Each structure stands twice: as C-alpha cells, then as structure tokens.
Structure 1
Amino acid sequence: MNTTRAARLLTDLVDPKNVITVLCLAVGAHYGWSGVGWGALAIVFCAVIPIAFIVATGKERTFADRHVPERARRMIVIPVIVASVLTCLTLMIVSGAPGPLLSMVGAMLATIAVIWPITHWWKISVHTAVLTGALTMIGMLYGWWWGAANALLVPFVAWSRARLQDHTPAQTAAGAILGALVAGPVFILGL
C-alpha cells in the first residue's frame, strides 16, 4: 500500500464523526444502559446531523470527500455544527442527563467554538482536535494510561492529514494541542 493510500485510509478511519461516535459510546457505557442512550442522543446531534449537513449541502456529496477541505466552506459548516451540538446540550440539560455526559457535549461545543474563529484565518485541523479531545476525556474517565496508550495514534493522524496536503504540520499540531487543552478542563467539570 502506498503512503497516500495509507494516509487516506487513516484519515477516513479517524474522521471526527467516527471519533465522536466512539467517544459518546465510551462515555455513555461508563454509566450503564441509560448512559448508552444518552450517548446515542449525542451521536445524533454531534455526528450524524453535522455529517448529513456537510454531505447534503456541499460538494462533499460523497463520503470520500466529506472532510470539508476549503476554509471558506468550513465557515458555513461550523455554525451549523455549533447549533446542532448546542441543541443537544440543551436537550440533555432539560432532560436530566448525567453530569459527565453533559460535560462531554459541553467539551465538544467549547472545542468547535474555539476552532470557529481560528478557521477564519487559518485552517486548523479538526481531525487532530477532535481526536485529542476525545482521548483526553476517555483518559480522564477510564484512566490516564488508557488515554496515553491511545495518544500514540495522534502523530499518525497528523501525518495523514499533512501527507494528503489537507493541513500543514503546524495546523495538525495546533489542532492536537487545542483539542486536549479545551476539552479536558470542560470535561472535568462534570466528573
């Protein structure tokens, strides 16, 4: 397998919607079947609705090109994601979701809210931000060793995004740092 194909495979595998899905199920499972139900609700608003909007409204009409490569297009997509995640958080608050699940969705909202203004000037990596944010939250919930072991994936994802010329190495590194620094403190509020 050539390096471009490997990079595409890794980029698609660690797509933000996939990472968010795993995160929601992992955090939800920590709180039993009701937690899994809350996690499923979060998946709908934080992964399914955003990707459906991306695919339905742009030239990213196929799953092969769903990563929204153009910065100007991201400025259209991000507000919809913010609105969808905010709707999820509101529904979860009103319905009495457990604190850690609220904090998880709050961390997603905070991360995308910080990415939004940066994207106006610079194409920071959402892939690495979502991945490190998720790994930070899972590490806080299941043990630092689990998050640290899985953090070995981050440089490979950063490489894949740069190899595909979707981001510079600086954009992937900045995304990785941002994801952990924003998601971690927000998530810890609900533990």
Structure 2
Amino acid sequence: MHNVVDVPPRGPEDLAARGLTEVFAPALLAAVMPIVIGVHSTTPVSLGLAWALVGALCCSVIPNALIWWGVRRGRLTDHHIRVREQRRTPLIYGLVSVLFGLVLMIGFDAPRPITAMVVVMFVLGLAVTAANLVWKLSIHAAVAAGSAAVLVIEFGPQLLFSIPVVVLVCWSRVRLDEHTVSQVVAGSIVGLIVSIPIFLVLR
C-alpha cells in the first residue's frame, strides 16, 4: 500500500495551485465539456442538454464515483490517484464507462458535436491509460489542453483565453510536486494531438 501524505499549503502560491488543481480537475472538465458543447451546438437546447448529461454521467460521474469508492476502501491514495501504479484499474473502468456512453450515443443518433466530444474523451482516456502504464503523464494537463482546444474550435478565437488557463493548470501540478515539467508538457501535447483532429473531423 502506498501512503501519500497531504502537505498543507505553505502560502498563497500553494493555495492558488491547490485551487486550480481542484477547479480544473479532469473529472470536472469531463462533466462540464459535454454540457457546454451540447447547449451551444444543438437545437432544441433541451435535446442537447439531455445528451450532454448522458455524456457527463459516463465521462465523469460514474468514473469519479468509482475512484471515490476506491479511496474510501483504502485502495487508492486520493481522488487524484497520485501513485501511478494505482491508476491503471480506475482508468480502465473509466474507459468502459465512456465506451458505454458512446454506444448509447451512436445507437440512438445523438447530436454529432456531443458524440465528437465524448469520442475525444475516450481516445484521450486510451492515450493517458497507455502512457501511465510506464510514466506518470499529467492527466490534468492532457484534459485541460484538450478541453481548451475543443473550446477554440467550437467558439472561435475569442476562446483563446483558455490557453493561459492550461498553463496555470500545468504550473499548479508542478508547484504541488505532483508532476515534473516534462510530464505536464507531454500531457498538454497529448491533449492537443488527440482533441484537435478528432473534434474537427467528427463535429
């Protein structure tokens, strides 16, 4: 069993880093992104919202519930799964949940932009799962960068302000000693090379 001790924030920068880590956690972004895309891209909005909630359920709520269950049972150190060796099983279960959502969306002809967003989440999940078998790639950075890229594609250049947010998320992970610079840079690159072509082609 790996023991990871939470170190209390030591000052304003650590508090800011902890806040960024929690606000832009992969689970939260995975819940919010399908809703943002669904509401913006689908008419009537109620249809987009309904399918977006299915996406949020399968991409975030179910996988995150499984992680919290693992934490409560003592099988995982914390909800961010800091120990790389513990990540494989939760990531695989998360992939199964996202795949189930995709099957529903394709089978019942969900709006294309929402389906495209969930495909991005699934392929990104595959990529980070494979990488984390051997290296602690930053999932925070990957999901943040992928989400920012999708927002720019969907809404246009006015959403370029999301890029500095990705940089801040990466900074927060390094500041908290959860990742190295190379791990957050690699995560960001993976997020971009997965999300941009997939969302452009499928939306």
TM-score by length of 1: 0.93
CA-CA distance at 1:176 after TM superposition: 0.8
Alignment partner, residue 93 of structure 2: 80
Consecutive unaligned residues of structure 1, counting only runs of 5 or more, are none
1:113-124 correspondence runs (5 A):
113-124=126-137
CA distance in 1, matches of 2:31, 2:118: 12
CA distance in 1, matches of 2:87, 2:132: 7
Alignment partner, residue 58 of structure 2: 45
CA-CA distance at 1:101 after TM superposition: 1.1
Alignment partner, residue 71 of structure 1: 84
Alignment partner, residue 24 of structure 2: 14
Runs of 4+ in 1 over 4 A off after TM superposition: none
The SS at the match of 2:136 is coil
| Selected match of 2:184 from 165, 168, 172 | 172
Sequence identity percentage: 31
What's the RMSD between the two structures over aligned residues? Answer: 1.6
Asked if residue 28 in structure 1 is aligned to residue 38 in structure 2, the reply is: yes
How many residue pairs get matched?
A: 188
**Greater Rg by CA:** 2
Structure holding more helix per residue: 1
1:55-134 correspondence runs (5 A):
55-58=68-71, 65-134=78-147
CA contact (8 A) 1:99 1:190 kept: yes
CA-CA distance at 1:90 after TM superposition: 0.4
CA distance in 2, matches of 1:16, 1:125: 10
Consecutive unaligned residues of structure 2, counting only runs of 5 or more, are 1-10
CA-CA distance at 1:60 after TM superposition: 8.4
TM-score by length of 2: 0.88
Taking a change above 3 Å as real, the CA distance of residues 40 and 29 of structure 1, as seen in their structure-2 partners, is: same
